Chain A
């Protein structure tokens, strides 16, 4: 799925600027456990989470995650946006729950990591 398509399907708002050229994401992972995210070998994925802190953005940076979706109305802080922008990471905010977001993206072809 392309980022713009993802934004449309989950009623998301981009907290960071979007890449000039939209790209295709193949896989996603949902977790609130950063320790678990740090064990993933898969790269260039989308992460759906209920967390919204700077550690999430650091984790995404180290794990080579391309897009982070903050579920259920969580907002990205200015520090999170700054750090994400420095590293070319996209943050999306959706009003939907982790379950609903995962379900919608899964049924639209975004594959699971496991």
Chain B
């Protein structure tokens, strides 16, 4: 049976970005999942959380931790992504100066989510928001 975890994120709230990944990390640790696998998934979730804080108005994270895999869905209300292909390209970013000063916004987030997961799906509508869904198998 899968364990479902839900979290909300506010746009601009960087001090709370990381709460979902932190909790997910603790749950996966309790399930004795291999440390390298845990790192891959929590890095992906953290990148997605930072993306919501950096670009959206609000969002939520839903994680389904199953016996063999973990599926994470990060949905936000926000500006959406105009060009997904470009957004996936390393080095491309529309992040603000403030976000860059915090050590993010280097245009590596989505590419890093892809690198750390088995499957990544991005659904977006300009002016409405974005849903990023990714999964990782650990069996």
The smallest beta-carbon distance between A82 and chain B, in angstroms, is 11
Of all chain B residues, the one with the shortest Cβ separation from A79 is B15
Instruction: Give the number of residues in A that approach B within 8 Å (Cβ atoms).
Output: 22
In the assembled complex, B43 has its CB within 8 A of some CB on chain A:
yes
Per-residue CB contact flags for chain B residues 32-57 toward chain A (1 = under 8 Å, else 0) read 00011001001100110010000000
Q: What size tier do the contact residues of chain B reach?
A: 20 to 34
Residues of A within 8 A of B106 (CB): 33, 35-36
Find out whether the CB atom of A43 lies under 8 angstroms from the CB atom of B39: yes
Residues of B within 8 A of A61 (CB): 18, 22, 25
Find out whether the CB atom of A51 lies under 8 angstroms from the CB atom of B103: yes
Residues of B within 8 A of A24 (CB): none
**Interface positions of A (Cβ within 8 A of B):** 32-39, 43, 51, 53-56, 58-59, 61-64, 79, 87
